[in-house]
Amino acid sequence: MIPITTAAPTGVAPSPAPNAPGPAQLLLRALQRDRLAAFGAAIILLVLVLAVFGQWLAPFPEQGMGATNASARNLAPDAAHWLGTDQLGRDVLSRVIMGANPALTISLLVVTAAALIGIPLGALAGYRGGWVDEALMRVTEVFQAFPPLLLAMVTVSILGPSLTNAGIALAVSWWPWYARLVRAEARSLRERPYVEAARAMGIPPALIVGRHILRNCLTPILVQATVDIGSVILAAGSLAFIGLGTQPPLPDWGLMVAEGRGLIFSAWWVSTFPGLAIFLAVLGFNLLGDSLRDLLDPRQVKR
Amino acid sequence: MLRFVARRLITSVLVLAVLTAIVFILARIVPSDPAVIYAGPKAPPAELDRVREHLGFNRPVLEQYFDYVAKLITGDWGESLATKRPVLDELAARLPATLELIGAAMAFAVSAGIILGVVAARRPGRILDGTVRFLSIGGISVPAFWLGLLLQLVFVGGLGLLPATGQFSNTIKYSDPITHVTGLPLFDSLITGNATAFTDGLQHLILPALTLAAYPLGLIARMTRASMLEVMSQDYIFTATAYGLREGAIRWRLALRNALPPVLTIVGMASAYALTGTFFVEAVFNWPGIGQFATSSMLAVDYPAIMAITLLGAAGYLLANFIVDILQARIDPRVSAS
């Protein structure tokens, strides 16, 4: 829920090591070195497949989208319904499979939007310094003074609960993390000899920022984004659980857990499997992201 | 030290001021009419006008804002649109339950997290380390509301060991009523020697506290491990080993103390998580705290309540960070000097 590393607790800017690896290289190394990272990547791959091909993989696609079947309510898992049916007779497996698409879509959109707002602001503040930097840092501090999710919850409450508004609210509360991450990187890169050389050659600032600063921030941004996609899935599911996200009858893992809440002792499968889906999806992104971060930040790896 | 504390206090107040402004602006662009929420959807226009007059909606926004801040300072936090009672009373009635829940969860998360982190750092890369890593990443990945349901399923439905919901059994208030001392019910039952109520409350507390602790526990264990590994590779640890100090003493006394500052920082972040995490945990366990009031206010767009909750949450977060900073400065004198 909280992007864990961006705050750089000790106040030290995370700076890429000399010969910082590219994203693809980093990913390959993590997968080879670390079984948990590979496990995480496998989960992510599964979620991706479900998100893209879900409507063809689900045994009852119309029920996945909300069609009810009154004659088959609260059936325990069996051969026809592997994960049972819910209180409206809908196949839980189909709804879990078809929940992958909205979960992944919203988290990709939120992270992209947060990055698109945060990265330019952070690069500008870090590269320019001075009052621009000061102003941006104060603004991000105010945003970060809200406990995680609280600002998003308030925003959704005011805009009205829906998946779209939940996405907007999450993006609004997420961008400061990217701004701070890029700012820290930009500040440390600004003083590098090659950036100074580019400045001395009279290359316009916009070009320097684009070519030297942003390109070198790419890997840490992607690592952060990996963790954040998981965090947003969790956040969106949480919002939906309390009624501030996706509305029925759409398939949303958090909403499905809420719908089965009252049945936990009589029909445990209704809540258990959608919740498991959130857990596994978030776990996948966190396992992979954690491993990538260890590789990226050599201070932490002492093996 | 005193100057350090004063400076932190001033920034905290400034942040809170900006925060109120943001929330106030948010509440003012609200598409639905708060007067309708207050008076009900079928209220006649004349009644709505009267409500607007009563709540002050017909005056300029800036005036309303300054008025709001002035009232905040004097302790008038407005009236809940849903319950028609002062928001501050609503919050005060629910705060003790939430404080006990968060307190128990954080106490467990900090102690268990630090122990797990130190143990994992003993032999990095081995099975125990891998297990702790998986557990801690699991802790930050698991949806609290789902973990709560699972625990209910196992410990209430399956094993029948613990109660499912609530803070005390309904019978307690007749058989063993709790004497009011501090207002924190479980704590009061302990210090007044009300063993029946205390045991009952403790049984009710275990599952929600464990659920709420999962995320902070994961964060703290992970950070402790990383910080311990860094400290254990320092020269002075090598020296201490060469002097023949026992390994346990080096690890738990010397190294842990120096590994604590980053852990403390993460404890601050973790307690911020607990502040909103409790919304979800309270919903699952029907815990009579602020979290339940918060979610119902947000669903009802009860904006005076929402604003008060936001302020309280932000103030709680600032307070947690403030305490962390002071502890930090005590452990590490370089902090207050900077």
The model's pLDDT over B128-180, given as tens digits with 9 standing for 90+, comes to 998 999 999 999 999 999 999 999 999 988 888 888 888 888 787 788 788 88
- Residues of chain B with pLDDT > 70, as a percent, come to 95
Predicted pLDDT at A237:
94
Predicted pLDDT at B33:
66
Of A20-24, A70-74, A89-93, B118-122, minimum mean pLDDT range: A20-24
Choose among A145, A156, A275: nearest Cβ to B149: A275
Predicted pLDDT at A9:
40
Predicted pLDDT at A8:
38
Of A211, A199, A223, A170, the closest CA to residue A14 belongs to A223
Q: Closest approach of chain B CAs to the CA of A302, in angstroms?
A: 7
Query: B164 to chain A: nearest residue by CA?
Result: A265
Contacts of B104 (CB under 8 A, 6+ apart): B205, B209
Which residue matches tokens 């709420």? B212
- Give B-chain residues touching A287 at CB under 8 angstroms: 137
How are the residues of chain B apportioned to helix, strand and coil, as percentages rounded to the nearest 5? Answer: 75, 0, 20
- Give B-chain residues touching A235 at CB under 8 angstroms: none
- Give B-chain residues touching A36 at CB under 8 angstroms: 130, 133-134, 137
Residue A147 DSSP symbol: P
Residue B97: pLDDT band (50, 70, 90) is: very high
- Residue A285 phi, psi dihedral angles, 5° rounding: -65, -40
Q: Residue B327: pLDDT above 70? A: yes
Average pLDDT over residues B319-333: 82
Q: Residue A4: pLDDT above 60? A: no
Contact assessment for residue B224 and residue B138, using Cβ atoms and an 8 Å cutoff: no
Pick among A156, A172, A263, A264 to test the B interface (most B CBs inside 10 A): A264
Residue A107: pLDDT band (50, 70, 90) is: very high
Q: Note whether B317 contacts A272, CB cutoff 8 Å.
A: no
Residue A275: pLDDT band (50, 70, 90) is: very high
Give the separation between CA A203 and CA B163, rounded to whole angstroms.
Answer: 69
Contact assessment for residue B309 and residue B293, using Cβ atoms and an 8 Å cutoff: yes
Give the separation between CA B168 and CA B188, rounded to whole angstroms.
Answer: 13
- Give A-chain residues touching B133 at CB under 8 angstroms: 36, 290
Q: Closest approach of chain B CAs to the CA of A111, in angstroms?
A: 17
**A–B: how many Cβ contacts below 8 A?**
175
Query: B275 to chain A: nearest residue by CA?
Result: A147
Average pLDDT over residues B108-121: 95
Tokens coding A11: 């106040």
Of A183, A187, A282, A284, the closest CA to residue A236 belongs to A282
Interval A15-61: pLDDT, tens = 444 456 677 888 888 888 788 889 999 999 999 999 999 888 888 88
Average pLDDT over residues A113-119: 94
Average pLDDT over residues A74-92: 85
Long-range (24+ apart) CB contacts under 8 A made by A240-243 are: A240/A163, A240/A166, A241/B143, A241/B145, A241/B280, A241/B283, A242/A153, A242/B279, A242/B280, A242/B283, A242/B295, A242/B298, A242/B299, A243/A161, A243/B295, A243/B299
Q: Closest approach of chain B CAs to the CA of A65, in angstroms?
A: 22
Q: Note whether B275 contacts A276, CB cutoff 8 Å.
A: no
- Residues of chain A with pLDDT > 90, as a percent, come to 35
Q: Residue A302: pLDDT above 90? A: no
Axis-axis angle for helices B290-299, B87-120 (nearest 10): 120
Interval B271-307: pLDDT, tens = 888 999 999 999 999 999 999 999 999 888 888 888 8
- Residues of chain B with pLDDT > 90, as a percent, come to 31
**How big is the CA angle at B86 (ends B85 and B90), to the nearest 5 degrees?**
80
Could you tell me if residue B226 is left (phi over 0), alpha (psi between -120 and 50 degrees) or otherwise beta?
alpha
Q: Note whether B272 contacts A147, CB cutoff 8 Å.
A: yes
Predicted pLDDT at B281:
95
Average pLDDT over residues A197-205: 87
Contact assessment for residue A84 and residue A205, using Cβ atoms and an 8 Å cutoff: no
- Give B-chain residues touching A282 at CB under 8 angstroms: 141-143
- Give B-chain residues touching A2 at CB under 8 angstroms: 219, 269, 272-273
Average pLDDT over residues B205-211: 95
Of A267, A241, A270, A255, the closest CA to residue A92 belongs to A270
**How big is the CA angle at B260 (ends B254 and B261), to the nearest 5 degrees?**
130
Q: Residue A14: pLDDT above 70? A: no
Predicted pLDDT at A111:
95
Pick among B30, B131, B141 to test the A interface (most A CBs inside 10 A): B141
